[in-house]
């Protein structure tokens, strides 16, 4: 099923407080490393995707959990500043999920993550009540691997979303437990649009070639697959066509959260009635703006400002 002109997005995902340290080229125990930047930012697949959607003018509601602490307060304030509806975000007695990201001079990352409140979220499958989905036509699942409770019920959540007449998308994320297709496989028949980077797609499919991996994931049930290829841009695989869209030529400072912003931008373009090819190019632009700044969402601009940037930006050969 093609996802077309969605009215708004309901998303389930994690909300994480990020501490970013740059540059760190190596870790040497019992020594001190001098760095240029230690900054606090908003992270988490759910939070970053929803922030991008809100920043780009899309009605969006987030389902998730943060702690009753200063980190949680700060994250919710930042999401609200982008217009994200937080009525379905709950507060935990535990601490807000936190990641420390060590970033090298090329923008590559080494992540240290504490689940915190994410471990308590989604103890029951999402009930897609009329109030929860009011004004929204699409459900996005942002990395069930990052939410221990949601991982085991992800397929049922997507099935319920479809039953509630919502189109669906899934961003796979990285599976630190190595279960991959064991948990995502049952989700695919209920997924209209699957997002994965090339490494994730290969792990999920068991194939070494990213294109073959995307085709295999479609055979397993995903209606369309979007491969995030980093500096190579992205590729879209549908029942009708396969297309490759090149990235923009920019200097990477930090790739943290760029994939989440890419997904938010792709859905935002569909909200504006764009084709998959146009959505892919727009998503590449938003990801390019993201990686030029420390912190996944720090470089994001409005929809109109992004279009203006695209007109003068250089596309990679």
Q: What percent of the chain is predicted at pLDDT more than 90?
A: 93
> Model pTM?
0.94
Residue 102, in any domain of the structure: no
CATH code, 296: 3.40.1190.20
Interacting residues of 124 by C-beta distance below 8 A, sequence separation 6+: none
Give 233's pLDDT tier (boundaries 50, 70, 90): very high
Give me the number of domains the chain comprises.
1
Of 139, 136, 111, 132, the residue nearest 43 (C-alpha): 111
Strands 109-114 and 97-103 come out as antiparallel
Average pLDDT of the chain, as a whole number: 96
Give 114's pLDDT tier (boundaries 50, 70, 90): very high
- For the stretch 121-154, pLDDT in tens is 999 889 999 999 999 999 999 999 999 999 999 9
- For the stretch 43-80, pLDDT in tens is 999 999 999 999 999 999 999 999 999 999 999 999 99
Residue 33, in any domain of the structure: no
- For the stretch 177-220, pLDDT in tens is 999 999 999 999 999 999 999 999 999 999 999 999 999 999 99
- For the stretch 243-257, pLDDT in tens is 999 999 999 988 888
Domain containing 53: what range?
Answer: 49-90+119-312
Number of other residues whose CB lies within 10 A of the CB of residue 163 = 10
Residue 108, in any domain of the structure: no
Residue 20, in any domain of the structure: no
Angle between helices 198-205 and 210-219 (to 10 degrees): 50
Residue 203, in any domain of the structure: yes
Residue 227, in any domain of the structure: yes
Q: What is the mean pLDDT of residues 14-39?
A: 95
Query: Does the pLDDT of residue 18 top 70, yes or no?
Result: yes
Give 1's pLDDT tier (boundaries 50, 70, 90): low
Residue 106, in any domain of the structure: no
Residue 36, in any domain of the structure: no
């Amino acid at each position: 099923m093609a996802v077309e002109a969605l009215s708004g997005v309901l998303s389930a995902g994690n909300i994480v407080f990020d501490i970013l340290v740059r540059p760190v080229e190596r870790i040497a125990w019992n020594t001190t490393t001098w760095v240029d930047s230690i900054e606090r930012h908003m992270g988490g697949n759910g939070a970053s995707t929803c922030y991008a959607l809100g920043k780009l003018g899309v009605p969006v509601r987030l389902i998730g959990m943060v702690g009753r602490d200063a980190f949680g307060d700060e994250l919710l304030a930042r999401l609200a500043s982008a217009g994200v509806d937080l009525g379905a975000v709950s507060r935990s007695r535990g601490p807000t999920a936190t990641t420390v990201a060590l970033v090298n001079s090329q923008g590559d990352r080494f992540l240290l993550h504490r689940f915190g409140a994410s471990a308590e979220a989604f103890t029951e499958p999402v009930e897609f009540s009329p109030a929860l989905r009011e004004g929204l036509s699409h459900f996005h699942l942002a990395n069930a691997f990052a939410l221990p409770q949601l991982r085991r019920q992800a397929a049922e959540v997507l099935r319920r979303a479809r039953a509630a007449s919502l189109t669906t998308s899934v961003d796979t994320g990285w599976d630190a437990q190595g279960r991959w297709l064991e948990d995502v496989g049952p989700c695919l028949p209920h997924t209209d649009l699957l997002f994965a980077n090339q490494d994730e797609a290969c792990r999920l499919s068991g194939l070494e070639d990213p294109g073959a991996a995307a085709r295999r994931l479609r055979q397993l049930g995903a209606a369309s697959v979007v491969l995030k290829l980093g500096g190579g841009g992205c590729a879209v695989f549908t029942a009708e066509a396969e297309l490759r869209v090149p990235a923009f030529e920019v200097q990477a400072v930090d790739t943290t959260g760029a994939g989440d912003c890419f997904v938010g931008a792709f859905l935002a373009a569909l909200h504006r009635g764009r084709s998959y090819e146009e959505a892919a190019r727009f998503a590449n632009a938003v990801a390019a703006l993201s990686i030029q700044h420390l912190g996944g969402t720090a470089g994001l601009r409005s929809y109109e400002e992004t279009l203006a940037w695209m007109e003068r930006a250089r596309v990679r050969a």
